[in-house]
Amino acid sequence: MDIFNTFIELLRQTGNVTKGQGDIDESSPRWLLKQEVPKVVKSINRQLREKSIKTKVGAFSVLKELVVVLPDCLADHFGSLVPGIEKALNDKSSTSNLKIEALAFTRIVMASHSPSVFHPYIQALSGPILSAIGDRYYKVTAEALRVCGELVRVLRPNFEARSIDFRPYISPIYKAILGRLANQDQDQEVKECAISCMSLVIATFGDGLQSELPSCLPILVDRMGNEITRLTAVKAFAVIANSPLRIDLSCVLDHVVSELTAFLRKANRALRQATLGTLNSLVVTYGGQIGSSSYETIIAELSTLISDIDLHMAALALELCCTIMVDRRSIKNVGLAVRHKVLPQALVLIRSALLQGQALQALQKFFASLVQSANTSFETLLDSLISTAKPSQSGSLSKQALSSIAQCVAVLCLAAGDQKCASTVEMLKGILNDDSSTNSAKQHMALLCLGEIGRRKDLSNHVQIENIVIESFQSPFEEIKSAASYALGNIAVGNLSKYLPFILDQIDNQQKKQYLLLHSLKEVIARQSVDHTGQSELQDSNIVKILALLFNHCESEEEGVRNVVAECLGKIALIEPNKLIPALKERTCSPAANTRATVAIAIKYSIVERPGKIDAIMYSEISTFLMLIKDSDRHVRRAAVLALSTAAHNKPNLIKGLLPELLPLLYDQTVVKQELIRTVDLGPFKHVVDDGLELRKAAFECVDTLLDSCLDQLNPSSFIVPFLLSGLGDHYDVKMPCHLILSKLADKCPSAVLAVLDSLVEPLEKTIVHRPKGDAVKQEIDRNEDMIRSALRAIAALSRISGSDYSMKFKNLMNKITATPSLAEKYNSVRSE
C-alpha cells in the first residue's frame, strides 16, 4: 500500500503543477506521465489479479487519480480493466471498500471519457453495477446509483443519433432504481442518489417508459413533501423538465407547481434557489399547461424575493418573471400581476448601491420583457425609471444606482423599437438644451442615459448630439462634467467612424477640456478591449492617431491626465500588444520621469485576469518594465511597484522567475529614506512631509499580495528582520498592511516568525498603547482605534503559533492585554471575528 500512496501523491503533485494549463507540451509533467500510461495500466492489471484486497483497493485508487490528472487517458486501455472491475463487484470475497473503490473509479472514468469507449463493454458492466444497487451496505448502494447515472448518459449520449441499442437496458435499470426509490426505510444518501438517478432515467429514457411514469412520478412528488429529500426532489424535476423528450408530467404537474410555489416562502436558501430554477424549466417546457391562477400565485411569491438583501436570489426571481412574461404574454392577468406586484419591487431594487452583475442584467431583461409583453406602456415604464432617479428625502442616489437606472432606460428604449428610442433621445437632448433648467440631477441622468443608449445604438441621426453633450463640460458641477465625458465616449462607441475623429480633434484643440475628453477616449478604448472587438472596430489609422496623441500627453504636469493616458495605453495594449509593448518598452528609457511612470502604470492596466494575446509577448518583456523599480525617481519606482503588485495578483506566472532579482529591490522600497523627508516652514510652525510614505505603503501591499500568490518564491526570514520590523514601527498607513502581512506569515510560515518573535513585541506593544493627543479630532481617534484593532489581530495570529508561549516578552504582552480591560475587550472581539 505504501507504494500506491506514494504514486497517488506523485499524481496529485503532477496535477497541481499543471493545473490551469491547456494543451500538454512535450516538456510538461503531464505529457511525460501520458507516455507511461500503458505501463501503469499493465502493472495495475497485474495487481487486480492478486488475492490481496488491500492491493486491489490501492490499484483502483491509483487509477482514479490517474484519470483525474489525465482525463481520457484510458480510452485505449479500458477494455483490459473491465475483468478487474467485474471481479471486484461480483466476487463474494470482495469487501465493501473494494466495491466502493471499483465503483468510484468506474464513475469517474465514465464521466471523463467519450461514451463510445464504453459501448463494447455495457453488457459486461451493467449486470455487476445493477447488482451493487441491491447491496446491503448503504455506501456501496449509493456509489452504485451514482455509477448508474453515468451509465444512463453513456447509453444515450445524444437524442438525435442512436449509437447503441439501449432499449434492452431500460427496464433492468428502471426496476433496480425503483426498488431503492420506493423504499422509505434506508439511509438518506441512498434516498438522494435514487431520486437523482431516477430523474436521469426518466429524462433520458422517458419515451420508452410511458406506462411506468404514472406510478413513478407520484413517488418523486411524495419525496418533495419530505424535508430530508425535498431539495434533491426539486432538482430532479428540473432535470426531467429540461429533457428534450418533453416528458408527460400531466399527472403530477399541478401538484408539483403548487408545492414549488410554497417552497419560495421557506427559509432554506438552497431550496428557494433550486425551486426558482425548477419553476423556470417547468414554465419553459410546460407553460401552456399551467393555469393563470398558478402564475398569479408564483408572481406574488416572486415579488417578495426581489431585494438587495440577496442579489443572487433576486436575479433568479427576475429571470423567472421574464420567462413567464415571454411564454405567457397572451394572458392578461399575468401581465397585470407582474405590473402590480413585481414592478414596484424592481423600482426599489434599482435604487440600491449594491446592484450589479447578474442581478443588474436580470433587471434589464425584466424591463425589456415587460415593455414587450404589451401589458405596460413604454411611456409609463420610462416615467417610472426617470422619476426613480430623483433625489429623495434621504439624499441623492449613489453613482451605481444612477448607472443602473440609465442602463435600464437604454435597454427599455431598444426593446420598445426605433421610434420610441428616437423620441426618448430627443427628449433627453431637450433636457440638456433647456437653458432655464436648474435641475442638475435631471441633466446628470439625461447624460448617463444618452451614454448608455449611444453605446448600444448609433445616434448619428440625431443632429449635433456630440456638441450638445460637450456643452455640459462647462457645467459648474463635477458630476455633470464627468457624466458628459462618459456620455460622449459611449456615444462614440456606437459609431466610431463619425465620433472618434471628433474626440481626437477636440483633445488637440481644447486644452481646458483635455482631461474630460481623455476620459471620453478612455471609455471608447475600454469598451473595445473588454468586448474583444478592437480588431474590427478600431482601425489601424485610428490607433496610430490615438497613440500619437497619448504619447504626447505622457509628460503632462497633471497627474490626473497622466493616469488617464496610462489607462488608455494599457487598454490599447490588450487590443494591439505587438504595436504597444515595443512602443512602451522604448519609452522606459525616456529622460522624462513622468513618461517612465506613465509607461509603468500603463503596464499595470494591461495585466488583467483573463487570458489574452498579450500574454505571450508580455512574458518576455515584463522584466524591462518591472526593473523600473530601481529608477532614480520615486514616482517611477512606485508605478513599477504597483505594476508588480497587479501582476502578482492577476498573473503570478509572469513574474515568478523574476522574483529572485526583484525582491531585494522591492524590500528596499519599504525602508524609510531620510532624503525623502523634508520640513516645510509654514510661518508659526513647521510641518514634516514624508515623500516616501506612499512608496513604502505600496511596497508593503505588494509583499502582502506576493504572500498570497508566490509564497514559494519568498524567504520570510530575510524579510521579517529588518524590513517588516521597520514597517511595524512606521506611519499608520504603513502599519496597517504590515499587521496583515504578519498575520499571514504567522499562519503560513510560523517557524520563521517564531524565530524572531521577541523582536516583534516592542513595535506591537507601542501601537496598542498609543493614545492620540488631547486635541485630536474624531477622525484621528477613529484611525487610532482601527490601528489598535489591526495590531491586536496580528497578536491573535501570533498567539496561535505553537510555541509562542515560550517567549517571555510575548507572554508578558499577552498578560498586559488581559489585565487592561479596554484592550482585553478589543482583543476578544477581534478573536471572535
CA dist., res. 204 & res. 158, Å (int): 9
pLDDT higher than threshold 70 for residue 100 = yes
Residue 62 domain flag: no
Domain count, the chain: 3
Output the CA–CA distances (angstroms, integers) from residue 509 to 32, 427, 471, 475, 514, in the order listed.
62, 30, 15, 19, 9
- Both 490 and 381 in one domain: the answer is no
Percent of the chain with pLDDT over 90: 61
What is the reported pLDDT for 14?
56
- Both 368 and 440 in one domain: the answer is no
* Rounded average pLDDT over 187-212: 92
- Both 354 and 401 in one domain: the answer is yes
Q: ∠567-571-573 over CA atoms, to 5°?
A: 115
- Both 379 and 429 in one domain: the answer is no
- Both 426 and 367 in one domain: the answer is no
Least confident of 113-117, 249-253, 682-686: 682-686
* Rounded average pLDDT over 137-143: 93
* pLDDT band, very low/low/confident/very high, at 592 (cuts 50, 70, 90): very high
What is the reported pLDDT for 6?
63
What is the reported pLDDT for 331?
67
* Rounded average pLDDT over 582-587: 93
Helix intervals (H) in 183-212:
188-205
Using DSSP's 3-state secondary structure scheme, residue 558 falls into coil
Closest CA to 556 of 595, 611, 512: 595
pLDDT higher than threshold 60 for residue 330 = no
pLDDT higher than threshold 50 for residue 535 = no
* Rounded average pLDDT over 731-752: 93
- Both 759 and 828 in one domain: the answer is yes
Residue 111 domain flag: no
Max CA distance (Å), the chain: 99
What is the reported pLDDT for 28?
65
Residue 795 domain flag: yes
Concatenated DSSP letters of 24-41: PPTTSHHHHHHHTHHHHH
**What phi-psi label fits residue 677: left (phi over 0), alpha (psi between -120 and 50 degrees) or beta?**
beta
Using DSSP's 3-state secondary structure scheme, residue 557 falls into coil
What is the reported pLDDT for 479?
92
CATH of the domain at 422: 1.25.10.10
Q: Where in the sequence is the domain holding 320, given as residue range(s)?
A: 291-416
Q: Which of 461, 476, 509 is the last residue of a domain?
A: 509
Per-residue pLDDT of 470-487, as tens digits, reads 999 988 889 999 999 999
Residue 751 domain flag: yes
* Rounded average pLDDT over 25-30: 63
**What phi-psi label fits residue 683: left (phi over 0), alpha (psi between -120 and 50 degrees) or beta?**
left
CB 362 within 8 A of CB 409: no
* pLDDT band, very low/low/confident/very high, at 531 (cuts 50, 70, 90): low
pLDDT higher than threshold 90 for residue 606 = yes
What is the reported pLDDT for 13?
59
- Both 369 and 465 in one domain: the answer is no
CA dist., res. 719 & res. 715, Å (int): 7
Residue 372 domain flag: yes
What's the start-to-end Cα distance of the chain, in Å?
A: 43
The two counts, helices (H) then strands (E), for the chain are 44, 2
- Both 499 and 433 in one domain: the answer is yes
Give me Rg for the CA atoms of the chain.
Answer: 33
Q: Which of 351, 381, 416 is the last residue of a domain?
A: 416
Per-residue pLDDT of 649-704, as tens digits, reads 999 989 988 999 999 999 999 999 889 888 888 778 888 888 999 999 999 999 99
Query: At which residue does the C-alpha cell 487610532 appear?
Result: 784
- Both 353 and 375 in one domain: the answer is yes
- Both 316 and 328 in one domain: the answer is yes
Please report, as a single letter, which amino acid is at residue 662: L
Q: Which of 360, 391, 416 is the last residue of a domain?
A: 416
- Both 479 and 491 in one domain: the answer is yes
Per-residue pLDDT of 265-291, as tens digits, reads 999 999 999 999 999 999 999 988 988
pLDDT higher than threshold 90 for residue 194 = yes
CB 567 within 8 A of CB 605: yes
Per-residue pLDDT of 750-793, as tens digits, reads 999 999 999 999 999 999 998 888 778 889 889 999 999 999 99
pLDDT higher than threshold 60 for residue 19 = no
Closest CA to 235 of 249, 256, 252, 254: 256
Residue 229 domain flag: no
* pLDDT band, very low/low/confident/very high, at 12 (cuts 50, 70, 90): low
pLDDT higher than threshold 60 for residue 23 = no
Per-residue pLDDT of 351-393, as tens digits, reads 999 999 999 999 999 999 998 876 678 999 999 999 888 876 6
Which of 154-168, 303-317, 504-518 shows the highest mean pLDDT?
303-317
- Both 802 and 774 in one domain: the answer is yes
Mean pLDDT (the chain, rounded): 89
pLDDT higher than threshold 90 for residue 195 = yes
What is the reported pLDDT for 35?
83
Residue 456 domain flag: yes
Residue 613 domain flag: no
Least confident of 135-144, 236-245, 426-435, 788-797: 426-435
